[in-house]
């Protein structure tokens, strides 16, 4: 069986790394294709190094663009790869534009599609990722699910149960695999941070950073929280661009206890997350990583496609209301954060299960 694994954007790398490793270890005929959706050294190359991933066999170099332009460019280039390689299976992860683009091309060429992280639903179609998730799931042959809600959602959408496999979470595989190595990072010392005495922030969702009013409400919350403890903010290129565009730079610079930094690599970021007193984010994966690490997480969104993190983990949805963000942060700082439990099958062995299933036939 000939397999193509696809990566495109930052949140894909730590999910494909363990699958690629298991496939290579079992001497499967596998190639890695990078679409180039993310291309900056700090959004891509650093992750290949930290995650010990092989160089991609094919790099499509699509870069940034509107949704249509980016998705279409991936499709045009990926079709050429499939024509040349004639694989039996294309494996995609997550919910980025590269995910839907590559699964659509493969499916129309009658090549089997495996979607890892299937079934997640925010029920918010304003989110580009939600559209990518629904469409990718509807044309996939293997749907690998991370939590019970994924199984429930897929069944409700009429997906045949024999295509659905609850396998746990490959992103947690990477976390488990690299946890000890991440502890060796000196990122805290380099930035003068004390363990458990800072809040870590990430922010990049278009609904938060592309809408000035929302971005300002969130910044107001940070202005209050930074009087309680230092905040570190590794900033996504999209958010940096929007701060400048909205004329918010001087407001951010005035926050003396908030430190902006470049996007961090996998190991340094893990280290910062592990030792944070509190994480505030609008990322999908970080809600899950903090649940695994039992670090309190406030999610700056109205909904989540990962409800297990709220039901069982450390995650609280706070939306973009300034007072809500501040009051929940202060509860955590007062020692009232939840520890939660680690969800079922988040045990570091998801990639093994996936490869077992794919090679069973």
Under the binding rule (CB under 6 A), the answer on residue 38 touching ligand UD1 is yes
Strands (E), the chain: 2-7, 29-34, 58-59, 89-93, 112-118, 142-145, 164-166, 199-202, 231-234, 258-261, 278-281, 297-299, 315-317
Q: Is 313 in the site for ligand UD1 (CB under 6 A)?
A: no
Question: Residue 40 or 88: which CB sits closer to ligand UD1?
Answer: 40
Span from 6-14, 176-184, 220-228, 252-260 in contact with ligand UD1 (CB under 6 A): 6-14
Residue 244: CB atoms within 10 Å: 11
**145-174: contacts with ligand UD1 (CB under 6 A):** none
Task: Give the active site residue among 34, 115, 169, 204.
Answer: 204
Contact at 8 Å (CB) between 185 and 271?
Answer: yes
Handedness of CA 204, 196, 230, 192 (dihedral sign): negative
Contact positions with ligand UD1 (CB under 6 A) in 246-265: none
Rounded least distance, CB 180 to ligand UD1, Å: 26
CB 62 within 8 A of CB 36: yes
Q: Cα angle vertex 266, ends 17, 232, to 5°? A: 155
- Return the residue of 28, 39, 207, 333 that touches ligand UD1, per CB under 6 A: 39
Kindly indicate which of the ranges 145-153, 189-197, 214-222, 236-244 contains the residues binding ligand UD1, using the contact rule CB under 6 A.
Answer: 236-244
Active site residue 38: no
Structure tokens at 43: 């959004």
Is 10 a binder of ligand UD1 (CB under 6 A)? yes
Choosing from 211, 237, 341, 342, the residue that interacts with ligand UD1 (CB under 6 A) is 237
Tell me: does residue 72 bind ligand UD1 (CB under 6 A): no
In degrees, to the nearest 5, what angle opens at C-alpha 37 toward C-alphas 36 and 40? 75
**Main-chain dihedrals φ then ψ at residue 193, nearest 5 degrees:** -105, 145
Q: Is 204 in the site for ligand UD1 (CB under 6 A)?
A: yes
Nearer to ligand UD1, 11 or 119 (CB): 11
**Binding status of residue 3 toward ligand UD1 by CB under 6 A:** no
Q: Annotate 65-118 with DSSP letters as a single string.
A: --HHHHHHHHHHHHHHHHHHH--SEEEEETTSHHHHHHHHHHHHTT-EEEEEEE
Comparison of 106 and 326: residue with beta carbon closer to ligand UD1: 106
Q: What is the 3-state secondary structure (H, E, C) of 149-161?
A: HHHHHHHHCCCCH
Token pair of 55 as six digits = 């160089």
Show contacts with ligand UD1 in window 75-104 (CB under 6 A). Answer: 95-97
The residue within the footprint of ligand UD1, chosen from 183, 190, 212, 241 (CB under 6 A), is: 241
Is residue 61 at the binding interface for ligand UD1, with CB under 6 A as the rule? no
Pairing of strands 29-34, 58-59: parallel
Q: Which of 11, 56, 150, 265 binds ligand UD1 (CB under 6 A)?
A: 11
Tokens of 30: 């596998």
Q: Would you tell me which residues interact with ligand UD1 (CB under 6 A)?
A: 9-11, 37-40, 43, 64, 95-97, 128-129, 204, 236-238, 241
Catalytic residues: 204
């Amino acid at each position: 069986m000939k397999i193509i694994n696809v990566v495109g954007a930052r949140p894909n790398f730590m999910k494909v790394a363990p699958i690629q490793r298991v496939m290579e270890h079992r001497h499967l005929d596998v190639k890695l294709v990078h679409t180039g959706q993310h291309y900056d050294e700090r959004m891509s190359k650093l992750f290949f190094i930290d995650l010990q991933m092989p160089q991609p066999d094919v790099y499509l170099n699509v870069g940034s663009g509107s949704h249509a332009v980016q998705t279409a460019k991936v499709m045009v280039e990926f079709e050429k790869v499939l024509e040349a390689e004639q694989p039996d299976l294309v494996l995609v992860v997550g919910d980025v534009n590269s995910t839907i683009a590559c699964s659509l091309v493969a499916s129309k060429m009658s090549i089997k599609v495996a979607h890892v992280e299937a079934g997640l639903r925010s029920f918010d179609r304003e989110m580009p990722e939600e559209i990518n998730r629904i469409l990718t799931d509807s044309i996939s042959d293997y749907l690998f699910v991370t939590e019970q809600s994924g199984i429930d959602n897929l069944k409700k959408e009429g997906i045949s149960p024999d295509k659905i496999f609850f396998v746990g979470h490959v992103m947690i595989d990477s976390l488990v695999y690299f946890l000890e190595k991440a502890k060796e990072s000196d990122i805290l010392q380099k930035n003068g941070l004390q363990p458990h005495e800072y809040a870590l922030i990430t922010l990049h969702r278009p609904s938060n950073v592309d809408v000035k009013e929302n971005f300002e409400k969130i910044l107001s919350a940070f202005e209050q929280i930074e009087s309680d403890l230092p905040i570190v903010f590794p900033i996504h290129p999209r958010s940096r661009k929007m701060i400048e565009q909205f004329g918010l730079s001087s407001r951010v610079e005035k926050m003396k206890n908030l430190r902006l930094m470049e996007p961090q690599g996998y190991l340094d970021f893990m280290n910062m997350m592990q030792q944070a007193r509190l994480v505030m984010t609008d990322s999908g994966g970080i809600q899950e990583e903090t649940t695994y690490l039992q670090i309190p997480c406030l999610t700056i969104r109205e909904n989540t496609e990962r409800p297990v993190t709220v039901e069982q983990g450390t995650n609280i949805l706070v939306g973009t209301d300034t007072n809500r963000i501040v009051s929940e942060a202060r509860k955590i700082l007062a020692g009232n954060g939840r520890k939660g439990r680690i969800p079922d099958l988040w045990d570091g062995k998801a990639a093994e299960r996936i490869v077992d299933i794919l090679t069973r036939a």
